[in-house]
Structure 1
Amino acid sequence: MTLTRTQQELDDRYGRARGSRGRRWAWIGVGAVAVAVVGYLGWTTVAQTTDAVDIDVTGFHLVDEHRVTVDFQVTLRQGEPVTCIIEAQDTEHGIVGWRVVEYPADPAHTRRFSETVPTTAEATTGLVPSCWIP
C-alpha cells in the first residue's frame, strides 16, 4: 500500500500522468489518418489531371449562312484518341449546328484542327465546348 501511495506521490510531484501511453497511440493514429487523407487527395488530383483535355478555340470563319468553320487546338496526353463536340451558335446563343468528331491517336501533345459545321440558320460564332478521351 505504501508503494502505490509513494508511486502516486512521485507521479504527482514530477508531472507524470498515468495513461500517457494511450494518448501517444491516439496521436499516432490521428497522424496516420491525416497522412492517408493527404495521400488520397494527392492521388485523385494527379489522376484527374492525367486525363484532362485542354481546348483553345483559335478562330472561326462564317463560310456562308449555312456553314461555319471552327479552328481550334487540343492539348492532351500523347498517343491518345480524342472526341470533340463542335457547335455553331446564333446571336442569342442558340445552337444552330453541331458535330461530334473523333480523332485518332497521335504522338503530338498539342494538335490543331479545323472543322466545318453545317447550320440551320446563320451562325455568329463557332465553339468547341467539350473534348474527351474516349
Structure 2
Amino acid sequence: MTTQQELAERYGRRPRPHRRRAFWIAVALVAVTSIAGLAGLTISNSMDEVGFDETGFDLIDERTVTVSFQLTPPTGASAACALQALDEDFGVVGWLVVEYPASEAVTRTLTETIPTVAEATTGTVHSCWAT
C-alpha cells in the first residue's frame, strides 16, 4: 500500500514553506497598513474637532435670549457656532451663526444674544465647527 508521503512525492504535492511564509507576510502588511490608515484618520478628525459646553441661558424678554457657553477650538484656529432659541414645543424661534477669530486661549467663555420671532423657553448651542 502507498503512503500519503509517497503519493505527494510522486505527484508533486509537497508543502511549500515559502508560499505559506509569503501569505503570512502579505496578511501582516495588510494589517499594518489598515491600522496605520485608521490611526491617521482618527488623528486628523480629532485635530479639527471643536468642543463646546453650554453653561446657561437667560430669557431677557419675549424677543431676546442669551446663551452662555464655553468654546474649545483647535489651537490657532478660528471657529463658528450656530445658536438657537426654542419655544415650548422645541420649535426654532431664533437662530444665530457667530464666527470667532483664532485665539491663543484654549477655552473661551462666551455669551451671545439671540433675537427671536416669538417667545422662547430656552437657548442652546446647536453646533460648532472650525473655519
Shift of 1:79: 1.4
Consecutive aligned runs of 4 or more in structure 1 exceeding 6 Å deviation: none
Give the match for residue 107 of structure 1.
104
Provide TM-score, normalisation by structure 1.
0.86
For residues 21 and 42 of structure 2, the distance between their equivalents in structure 1, rounded to whole angstroms, comes to 32
Structure 2, gaps ≥5 residues long: none
Return the match for 1:78 from 72, 75, 78: 75
- Does residue 50 of structure 2 align to residue 53 of structure 1? yes
Shift of 1:55: 1.1
For residues 121 and 22 of structure 2, the distance between their equivalents in structure 1, rounded to whole angstroms, comes to 66
What SS does structure 2 have at the residue aligned with 1:91?
Answer: coil
> Aligned runs of 1:37-48 on 2, under 5 Å?
37-48=34-45
For residues 74 and 132 of structure 1, the distance between their equivalents in structure 2, rounded to whole angstroms, comes to 10
For residues 99 and 15 of structure 2, the distance between their equivalents in structure 1, rounded to whole angstroms, comes to 69
Give the match for residue 69 of structure 1.
66
For residues 75 and 116 of structure 1, the distance between their equivalents in structure 2, rounded to whole angstroms, comes to 19
Shift of 1:18: 2.9
Give the match for residue 16 of structure 2.
19
Provide TM-score, normalisation by structure 2.
0.88
* Per-residue Cα deviation, 1:6-48 (whole angstroms, up to 9, x for no partner): xx76x98xxxx43111110010001000000011011101110
| CA root-mean-square deviation | 1.5
Structure 1, gaps ≥5 residues long: 1-7
Give the match for residue 5 of structure 1.
none
For residues 123 and 52 of structure 1, the distance between their equivalents in structure 2, rounded to whole angstroms, comes to 29
